Structure 1
Amino acid sequence: MSREKILAAVKKNQFAHAPLPDLEILNTLTAATDNLVQQYSTVASAGGSFVYEVKDLETIKAILQKEFKHGVKIISSIPELDEYTYAGNVLEESSHSFADAELTILASNLGVTENGALWLTESQMNIRVLPFISQHLAVVICKDALVPTMAQAYAQIGNADYGYGAFISGPSKTADIEQSLVIGAHGPRSLSVFILT
């Protein structure tokens, strides 16, 4: 079949254009009185995350001190957690130098209750590789930054100015090999989410 015939057949079988659906109805699916923190905790925990409701950064420090041995490499993008290596001070280091990072602590401004996803931009990561190379990942988010659906999350970030961003949901996992679930196969072995209430 000639090139012209193929292109003519493709052109002939184009789908009719249709207007985009009105997504405003999604805002009515979850009532404003619903407990988004509880919903997020349920979904994220089911996905393998550890979720903590905390009042302040001091509570987070206390939890991390129990969970991680003194002297392990911990990198934080949150300046107030000043006992850890601040990510902003190691921007010039090679990505390979973070291979021994036990924990990375990041802040997020957007979480999604329907799937436990957290939106992280490059400015929040400081270094793109950090949320993916550490053995463990912790993310701090304010309860007011939770939205019910991904559609609402995309509405927030759609016109935002960011160079790179990623949704992260739970520890890395795969079931590709013999359909057996493996946690931490190609990224952090755990995700802890600290929700500031």
Structure 2
Amino acid sequence: MTKEQLLSSVRSNLQNREKVEYPLIPDYKKPDADLKKNFEQSAKIAAVDVYDVSSVEEAQAIMYKKLPDAKVTCSATPEWIGNQDIKVENPADLNHVDLGIFRAEFGVAEMGMVWVTEKSLVTNSLGYLSQHLAVLLDPTDITENMHTAYQRVQLPAAHYGCFVMGPSATADINAVLVHGAQGARTLTLFFLKKPSL
């Protein structure tokens, strides 16, 4: 039997089969889950400092106290003005940023992580080359788990997207945990409502 005969036989047999629908996948939601509390607990396990603030000014005061030597701040959100322009010709031009700031599109309570795209980062390298990150998250934009998160992800709407969970962490051969070896050394998350438009 030739390759073409084999493929022809497969095609003809496939046409005679009944169509099988994809199975329904449950979203595993828990009734009355406290998403904000669950997010905070998960984020803290991943070495994220979490604060509930009522204004950007309050978040800024916390970061200036935590990072008094931070000279270069770069923000992808108009709520928090940095001193480095986010729009650069080469993404590597952000490699000297001490504090990168952005607003996450949504958070995932189960993992304590946030979803970002080029819309939230503007220049993707902001999330990876900055020494420290400050992330703003509206508590109403928290989804329960990865099943519900993937229902919110709009892949065709973005060229780039990823989940960010905690600061960079890696362990060497001796299992020594090192933060910041391949990304931000710290991640601070602020629960802060989105500004009214």
Name 2:37's counterpart in structure 1: 38
Structure 1: stretches of 5+ with no match in the other structure:
12-16
The Cα of 1:158 is off from its aligned counterpart by 4.1
Identical positions, percent:
30
The Cα of 1:99 is off from its aligned counterpart by 1.6
Per-residue CA deviations over 1:133-167 (Å, capped at 9, x if unaligned) read 01111110100100011111111114551110111
Name 2:160's counterpart in structure 1: 164
Q: Closer, same or farther in 2 for the Cα pair 1:165/1:196, shift >3 Å?
A: same
Per-residue CA deviations over 1:107-149 (Å, capped at 9, x if unaligned) read 1121001111110001211111110001111110100100011
1:117 lines up with 2:149 in the alignment: no
SS of the equivalent of 1:26 reads: coil
Instruction: Find the aligned partners of 1:156 and 1:84 in 2 and give their Cα distance.
Output: 33
Instruction: Find the aligned partners of 2:70 and 2:33 in 1 and give their Cα distance.
Output: 41
TM-score, structure 2 normalization: 0.81
SS of the equivalent of 1:85 reads: coil
1:85 lines up with 2:84 in the alignment: yes
TM-score, structure 1 normalization: 0.81
The Cα of 1:19 is off from its aligned counterpart by 4.6
**Which structure has the bigger radius of gyration?**
2
Name 1:21's counterpart in structure 2: 23
The Cα of 1:50 is off from its aligned counterpart by 0.7
Per-residue CA deviations over 1:145-190 (Å, capped at 9, x if unaligned) read 0001111111111455111011100111112423222211100011
Instruction: Find the aligned partners of 1:26 and 1:86 in 2 and give their Cα distance.
Output: 40
Asked whether the equivalents of residues 78 and 86 of structure 1 are also in contact (C-alpha less than 8 Å), the reply is no
Mapping of residues 120-159 of structure 1, within 5 Å:
120-158=116-154
The Cα of 1:47 is off from its aligned counterpart by 0.9
SS of the equivalent of 2:157 reads: coil
Name 2:49's counterpart in structure 1: 50
Aligned AA (2:62): I
Q: Closer, same or farther in 2 for the Cα pair 1:181/1:19, shift >3 Å?
A: farther
Asked whether the equivalents of residues 112 and 165 of structure 2 are also in contact (C-alpha less than 8 Å), the reply is yes
Question: What is the total number of aligned residue pairs between the two structures?
Answer: 179
Name 2:66's counterpart in structure 1: 67
Asked whether the equivalents of residues 91 and 126 of structure 1 are also in contact (C-alpha less than 8 Å), the reply is no
RMSD over equivalenced CA pairs, Å: 2.3
Instruction: Find the aligned partners of 2:179 and 2:186 in 1 and give their Cα distance.
Output: 8
